[in-house]
Amino acid sequence: MADNKIRLQKFLSEAGVASRRKAEEMIKNGAVKVNGHIAQIGDSVDPKKDAVTVKGKKVNRQSSMRYILLNKPKDVVTTVEDTHARKTVLDLVKNACSERVYPVGRLDRNTTGVLLITNDGDLTTKLTHPKFNKKKIYQVTLDKDLQDDDFAKILSGIVLEDGEVKAD
C-alpha cells in the first residue's frame, strides 16, 4: 500500500495557512496539532486521514490550484510582505481568489513584466529551484546604448545582493 504522507509544513503551505518557513515556526511554537497531539518538526501527515489543527482551527488541504498571470507594473515589489509599506504584487491580486497565493520568482521594483502568482508549491519548486536548471528569458530595453565592456561584464557574471548571475 502506498504511503500518502507528506511533510506537515508542506501540507500547511498547500492548505494556504502559511509559507513552509512560517509553518515551521508555527509548529515550533506549539500552535499545530495532528490528531489532537502537539506536532513536532519533521512530522508527516496523510492529508486524507489525519486531522490537523492550527490554534484549534481545522485545516483542510486546498483542493484547487490557482494560477494568476500578472503584468507587473513599475514601482510594485515582488514580495509577499514589504517592510517598507510599498505596494506588492499581492496587493494587486488580493481579490482574485480566496486561496493563499505567492509570486514565483521575482522582478525588481522598477521592472515591468509577466509574473506568475500561484498556490502550486510543486510547480514553484520546479520553476525556481536551481537543481531543475530552468532558463529564464528576459527582454530588456535600455535608456542608452549598451557598451561592449558592459556586455562583457554581463556575460562573465555580475554579483547582486543575493548572489552571482550570468547570462547564457
For residue range 148-164, list pLDDT tens digits in order: 999 998 889 888 776 78
Per the CB < 8 A criterion, the answer to whether 102 and 19 are in contact is yes
Model pLDDT for residues 40-86, shown as the tens digit of each residue: 999 999 988 999 999 999 988 766 889 999 999 999 999 888 889 99
Q: How confident is the model at residue 99 (pLDDT cuts 50, 70, 90)?
A: confident
- pLDDT recorded at residue 163: 76
- pLDDT recorded at residue 67: 95
Residues designated catalytic: 108
pTM of the model: 0.66
Model pLDDT for residues 103-124, shown as the tens digit of each residue: 998 898 988 999 999 988 888 8
Decide which of 17 and 24 is more confident.
Answer: 24
Cell of 45: 501527515
* 3-class SS of residue 45: strand
User: Average of pLDDT values for 79-98?
Assistant: 92
Computed over every residue of the chain, the mean pLDDT equals 89
Q: How far is CA 54 from CA 25, 31, 41, 90, 133, in A?
A: 12, 5, 14, 24, 36
